[in-house]
């Protein structure tokens, strides 16, 4: 499947499964703010077709990036990183996946990062949805504490609510598969909104 077709099919899946709009009552977000729209990416990112499409789209977005691994704060980044890792192996340029725990384990190695990584590796931080950027920045900080070099950030959805701007202060390259504006434009077209 060509990259444009993969991206368009993925956008259709987001609109059908992961995007909701309602004015009254609005959705309450993790930040505590309310919004008339909500992205629950799991129905897309955990779907077999969705994972295949995501892996290919992310792999293409990372063309030229000198990274050996991808991951982010669990749970949102996990399916993205795993999808990318599988597709990267199939496309013969392996990118490992890793998980950033919300809290370091209190037993065993007491790790905040899980995966087959070594200090000094160049990585991409992934997130399913960026709103304020807080969880992404937390993942960046944990990765750096583990000695990883964060090259860039890629979000599946950028809600365009200041998160990208906050992240750019700590990692200069931030990309998104989709923006809220792009999803809302398609939603509006399809729903005569």
Domain spanning 3-191 has what CATH number?
3.40.50.2020
For residue 106, the model assigns a pLDDT of 64
pLDDT in tens, 29-63: 888 889 999 999 999 999 999 999 999 999 999 99
User: 67 CB contacts (<8 Å, ≥6 apart)?
Assistant: 95, 122, 123, 124, 151, 152
**Comparing C-alpha atoms, which of 117, 189, 179 is closest to residue 148?**
117
Q: pLDDT tens, 135-152?
A: 999 999 999 999 999 999
Q: Strand 96-100's sheet: what is its strand order?
A: 113-114, 96-100, 69-73, 122-130, 149-158, 174-179
pTM for the full model?
Answer: 0.95
pLDDT tens string 52-98: 999 999 999 999 999 999 999 999 999 999 999 999 999 999 999 99
Integer CA distances (angstroms), 42 to 17, 98, 119, in order: 9, 18, 30
Residue 111 has pLDDT above 90, yes or no: no
Q: What is the DSSP letter of 63?
A: T
């Amino acid at each position: 499947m060509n990259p444009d077709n993969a991206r368009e099919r993925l956008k259709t899946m987001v609109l059908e499964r992961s995007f909701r709009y309602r004015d009254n009552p609005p959705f309450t977000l993790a930040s505590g703010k309310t919004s008339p729209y909500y992205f629950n990416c799991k129905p897309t990112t955990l779907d077999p077709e969705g994972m295949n499409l995501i892996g290919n789209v992310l792999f293409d977005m990372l063309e030229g990036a000198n990274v050996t691994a991808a991951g982010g704060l669990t749970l949102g980044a996990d399916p993205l990183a795993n999808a990318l890792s599988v597709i990267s192996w199939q496309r013969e340029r392996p990118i490992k996946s890793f998980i950033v725990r919300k809290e370091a384990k209190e037993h065993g190695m007491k790790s905040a990062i899980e995966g087959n990584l070594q200090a000094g590796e160049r990585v991409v931080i992934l997130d399913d949805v960026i709103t304020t950027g807080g969880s992404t920045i937390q993942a960046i900080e944990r990765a750096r504490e583990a000695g990883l070099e964060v090259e860039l950030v890629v979000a599946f959805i950028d809600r365009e609510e200041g998160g990208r701007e906050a992240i750019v202060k700590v990692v200069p390259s931030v990309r998104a598969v989709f923006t809220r504006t792009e999803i809302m434009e398609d939603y509006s077209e399809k729903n005569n909104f």
